[in-house]
Amino acid sequence: MAGKRYREATGQIDREKRYSLEEALAMVAANKVAKFDETVEIAVRLNVDPRQADQNVRGTVVLPHGTGKVSRVLVLAKGEKEREAREAGADFVGGEDLIKRIQEENWLDFDRVIATPDIMGAVGRIGKILGPRGLMPNPRVGTVTFDVAKAIGEVKAGKVDYRVDKAGVIHARIGKLSFGGAKLVENAHALLSAIARAKPASAKGNYVMSVSVSSTMGPGVKVDPGAARVVAAAA
């Protein structure tokens, strides 16, 4: 049973030890709990105060090996940009018609939303639906743009949005267990480097306080924050 496997996996991990990133990810893989291909996630606790606007760390990064999940992309646009979105591989394309569908039917069969600036006034009507689910287009993360082909390509390639939560922690997917250690490490390095580049000028002292990695069903493994800071320093 899953509970037993989880307890056995937990027993293999030294809760007091701080592993290198490579060791931690190897431990996650070695202590796989579920029978399906679990997603691997990373949690990075930062020395910031998210209540301060200038310390609300947020950004995007295209992981070199993607996330292992093919996102369903909705593009809200007008005229020629609708054709461009379809040719670029968007899963759903429309304007007022799809906005109305979301508003009236609570239709949410998509993972990411990209919108052109000229339709954002109408998109605002569904902000209360999209916002709480992290789907609201935002120019800061490149999802409000006239270059819809580029935005679609990045999402399909494995673009990840990251944002610090109220506790000062960033949670993000870095791939699947089936990727293997090398690819997961490269993805983790890409994310940590992006977070380092997003360090607020007002953040003092050690920026990265703690790091842990885990699979969907497995226990977390703590990473030596010093090793994570080396990656950050090289960004």
For 3-61, write each residue's pLDDT tens digit. 666 665 565 666 778 888 899 998 888 877 778 889 999 999 999 999 998 998 988 89
Could you list the residue range(s) of the whole structural domain that residue 177 is in?
A: 15-67+159-233
Residues 55 and 78 in one domain: no
Please report, for the domain that includes residue 78, its CATH number.
3.40.50.790
Alpha carbons 190 and 116: distance in angstroms, whole number = 28
Residues 52 and 82 in one domain: no
Residues 135 and 174 in one domain: no
Give domain status of residue 128, yes or no: yes
For 52-107, write each residue's pLDDT tens digit. 989 989 888 999 998 888 889 999 999 999 999 999 999 999 999 999 999 999 99
Give domain status of residue 207, yes or no: yes
Read off the tokens for 208: 């990265």
Residues 146 and 77 in one domain: yes
Tell me the three-class secondary structure of the chain, residue by residue.
CHHHHHHHHHHCCCCCCCECHHHHHHHHHHCCCCCCCCEEEEEEEECCCCCCHHHCCEEEEECCCCCCCCCCEEEECCCHHHHHHHHCCCCEEECHHHHHHHHHHCCCCCCEEEECHHHHHHHHHHHHHHHHHCCCCCHHHCCECCCHHHHHHHHHHCEEEEECCCCCEEEEEEEEHHHCHHHHHHHHHHHHHHHHHCCCCCCCCCCEEEEEEEECCCCCEEECHHHHHHHHHCC
Domain boundary among 123, 156, 189: 156
Give me the pLDDT at residue 229, please: 65
Q: What percent of the chain has pLDDT over 90?
A: 60
Please report, for the domain that includes residue 174, its CATH number.
3.30.190.20
Domain boundary among 156, 182, 215: 156
Residues 228 and 199 in one domain: yes
Give domain status of residue 7, yes or no: no
Query: Looking at the predicted structure, is the pLDDT value of residue 185 above 90?
Result: yes
Mean pLDDT of all residues belonging to the chain: 88
Residues 165 and 192 in one domain: yes
Residues 79 and 58 in one domain: no
Give domain status of residue 101, yes or no: yes
Give domain status of residue 3, yes or no: no
For 131-161, write each residue's pLDDT tens digit. 998 899 999 889 999 999 999 999 988 888 8
Residues 132 and 207 in one domain: no
More confident of the two residues 198 and 228: 198
Residues 92 and 48 in one domain: no
Residues 190 and 169 in one domain: yes
Alpha carbons 189 and 44: distance in angstroms, whole number = 12
Residues 51 and 89 in one domain: no
* Region of poorest pLDDT, from 8-12, 184-188, 197-201: 8-12
Domain boundary among 98, 124, 156: 156
Alpha carbons 111 and 45: distance in angstroms, whole number = 25
Give me the pLDDT at residue 159, please: 87
Give me the pLDDT at residue 1, please: 40
More confident of the two residues 17 and 212: 212
Alpha carbons 81 and 58: distance in angstroms, whole number = 27
The structural domain count of the chain equals 2
Confirm if 222 and 14 have CB atoms less than 8 A apart: no
Alpha carbons 165 and 51: distance in angstroms, whole number = 10
Mean pLDDT of 185-189: 93
